[in-house]
Amino acid sequence: AQSVAQPEDQVNVAEGNPLTVKCTYSVSGNPYLFWYVQYPNRGLQFLLKYITGDNLVKGSYGFEAEFNKSQTSFHLKKPSALVSDSALYFCAVRPPDSNYQLIWGAGTKLIIKP
């Protein structure tokens, strides 16, 4: 079965330090890959996506993500964390020929401490 895994329920990072939120997937073919962020009591907001091309994609709020085909991973990164980055982060994958449906990871809570 196709799936998306976010192996860490929670990631704690000190402000100013680099952060990484991990995502791996098990999907056949060449999927599209997405990261979304959810702030408390809000809907999900799109951060960035990988469709094709350069393995390092840049998105909103200084976030970037690295696609690794051999490891089937799409880790979210930021060089210097801000307290305001504290939120719930979701990785999602759109398999080929999926009628635009997404497979979602369970989410990772990112806590940035001052």
Partner 1 sequence: NAGVTQTPKFRILKIGQSMTLQCTQDMNHNYMYWYRQDPGMGLKLIYYSVGAGITDKGEVPNGYNVSRSTTEDFPLRLELAAPSQTSVYFCASTDSGRASHEQYFGPGTRLTVT
Footprint on this chain of partner 1 (rule: CB under 8 A): 4, 9, 32, 34, 36, 41-46, 49, 51, 90, 94, 99-102, 104-107
Beta bridge partners of 64: 58, 77
State phi, psi for 66 to the nearest 5 degrees.
-110, 120
- Looking at the Cβ atoms of 20 and 60, the one nearer to partner 1 is 60
Q: How far is the CB of 5 from partner 1 (least distance, A)?
A: 10
When the beta carbons of 49 and 77 are compared against partner 1, the nearer one is 49
Distances (CA, A) of 44 to 20, 35, 57, 80: 19, 10, 19, 22
Residues 79, 44, 54, 71, Cα dihedral to 10°: 80
The residue (of 81 and 92) whose beta carbon lies closer to partner 1 is 92
Please state the closest distance from residue 104 (CB atom) to partner 1, in A.
Answer: 4
Which DSSP state fits 83?
Answer: G
C-alpha angle with apex 64: 63 to 68, nearest 5 degrees?
150
Minimum distance of partner 1 from residue 84's CB (angstroms):
19
Instruction: Report the nearest approach of partner 1 to the CB of residue 97 (Å).
Output: 13
Which one, 8 or 15, has the nearer CB to partner 1?
8
